[in-house]
Structure 1
Amino acid sequence: MPNQEQFVQFINDNDGILFKVSTLYTNSQVDAQDLRQEMIYQLWRSFGSFSGRSKFSTWMYRVALNTAMVYIKKKKRTITSGIEIDEKLFQRTDVSDNTEEQQIEKLYETIKRLNNLERGIIMLYLENKSYDEIGEIIGFTTTNVGTRISRIKEKLKKLMQNK
């Protein structure tokens, strides 16, 4: 049986990973909370198999990204009866002076237009993970990661110019 106290400590120490993945792979706070719970559940289920050969955060990214991708596939298969409204729209204030904040928001909106794998790779890149670490998390060679990051950057540039 996995050590519950150790698990809780690891989750608390790496909570930013869960926040970033759930925010990047969903469009509403409700979905982000659901995905976060699912990621914690999947982490707990597989915690006993964490061998320590990699850093906990690397393993956590791998589980969180895989869970997010499965969650999205399941979500696409279910038919929603209503329209989801992003609760952030109701919390908006005048942001005319916050151009940097607007640019960051635009970047994240554009990142959400990438496919699931590309989103994960660019998220890890923006987290300043090395190509080696990204490769270990995603399961690609370092060279492949570098190539994909270059292509994703070009794709993001084009998408942002077309907005």
Structure 2
Amino acid sequence: MNKALEKDFETLIQNNEFLIWKVCRVYKKELQDRQDLFQEIVIQLWKSYPGFKGQSKVSTWMYRVAIYIAIAGLRKQKNFIQFSEPDNLPSTAGDVQYDDTKDKQLGHLYNAIAQLNEVEKAIIMLYLEDKSYNEMEDILGINQGNLRVKMNRIKDKLKQIIKP
């Protein structure tokens, strides 16, 4: 791969690393597991980056890849993510350090979200990111009518989980 493509990818990851960390936080409880998932997502983004044509927003594409990898990893093996490092991965793209202190403030909400199924987690995460139902449909492939119904059910479910 050429150096310009590598540099563009590194910048893309640096500018959107928080997006990836959010997906990791929703799908993995332990810091080490989140770091492993982050690495796997970056690898898959790198593999698919040359094929990204810009037909959707970069964030839509990144969420789609990240959520797919998170859910696929859970379905393959509940506690293990397959790791394979591709050739020519930019050297600094996956070396981002994560500050766990902010997560502690959101622990109660994340504990409730952890009790949801994989699709519900993706929906609530995108909702909390203020994604429109159009964007959610693009990312998840679920039509807007179903998303609205699912969102109402998820809200009710979270209220029951969080209820003291």
Q: Same fold (TM over 0.5)?
A: yes
The equivalent residue for 2:138 is 136
The equivalent residue for 1:41 is 43
Deviations along 1:19-75, whole A, 9 cap, x unmatched? Answer: 101111111111000000000000001111211011101100000000001122233
The equivalent residue for 2:128 is 126
The equivalent residue for 2:31 is 29
Deviations along 1:94-135, whole A, 9 cap, x unmatched? Answer: x9xxxxx4xx42111000110011001100000000111011
Q: Show structure 2 runs of 5+ residues with no match.
A: 81-99
* Aligned-residue CA RMSD (Å): 1.9
Q: Which runs of at least 4 in structure 1 moved beyond 6 Å after TM superposition?
A: none
* 2:160 is aligned with 1:158: yes
| Residue in structure 2 matching 1:57, options 43, 56, 59 | 59
| Count, aligned residues | 141
Matches of 2:110 and 2:76 in 1, distance apart?
A: 23
Matches of 2:154 and 2:14 in 1, distance apart?
A: 31
Alignment of 1:52-131 (within 5 A): 52-76=54-78, 101=105, 104-131=106-133
Deviations along 1:118-154, whole A, 9 cap, x unmatched? Answer: 0011000000001110111000112221111111101
**Cα drift, residue 77 of structure 1:** 6.7
Matches of 2:149 and 2:120 in 1, distance apart?
A: 12
Matches of 2:136 and 2:28 in 1, distance apart?
A: 21
Q: Percent identity?
A: 41
Q: TM-score, normalised on structure 2? A: 0.80
Q: TM-score, normalised on structure 1? A: 0.80
